Amino acid sequence: MNIHTIANHLNDLGDNSHTGFQFDCYPIDGEVEVLQVNVVGREEIPVFVSVTDNQVLCIAYLWGEDEVKQARRAEMFETMLELNIPMPLSSFAKVDDKYVVYGALSVHSSMQEIEQELSVLSDNCLEVIDELVDFLQ
């Protein structure tokens, strides 16, 4: 399993997706191989995929610390904790100064399971933004 196998599969799906979504994938060069996955129609919230020996990690960046209303930051954290369990296949985290939603799968996951994770993560991002927009500037 590697990002090129995932990219080829997703790019070749076209209208044959199990989730109803279409995907555009772009490898990003760097020290760690990363695949940028755009769900067609939702390009403003790409999902970044990396593959390690143990997992396939999918991360979507939501907003930066500088976009948070500081007076409501603690309340935002409380809301994020409350949303974490009912949000299927995804969890909140912070990478440097960016808030993210992420999901992880086994490297033995099927391509259909990876496609499902990406579509659910994308859906979750939209829901999170709707729920937490009042905490942002």
The predicted-structure confidence for 44-56, as pLDDT tens digits, reads as follows 999 999 999 999 9
The whole-number pLDDT of residue 13 equals 93
Using DSSP's 3-state secondary structure scheme, residue 25 falls into strand
The model carries a pTM of: 0.94
Domains and CATH numbers, the chain: 3-135 (3.30.1460.10)
**Residues 6 or more apart from 125 whose CB is under 8 A from it?**
42, 45, 60, 62, 101
The whole-number pLDDT of residue 110 equals 96
The predicted-structure confidence for 65-106, as pLDDT tens digits, reads as follows 999 999 999 999 999 999 999 898 899 999 999 999 999 999
The predicted-structure confidence for 14-38, as pLDDT tens digits, reads as follows 888 999 999 999 999 899 999 999 9
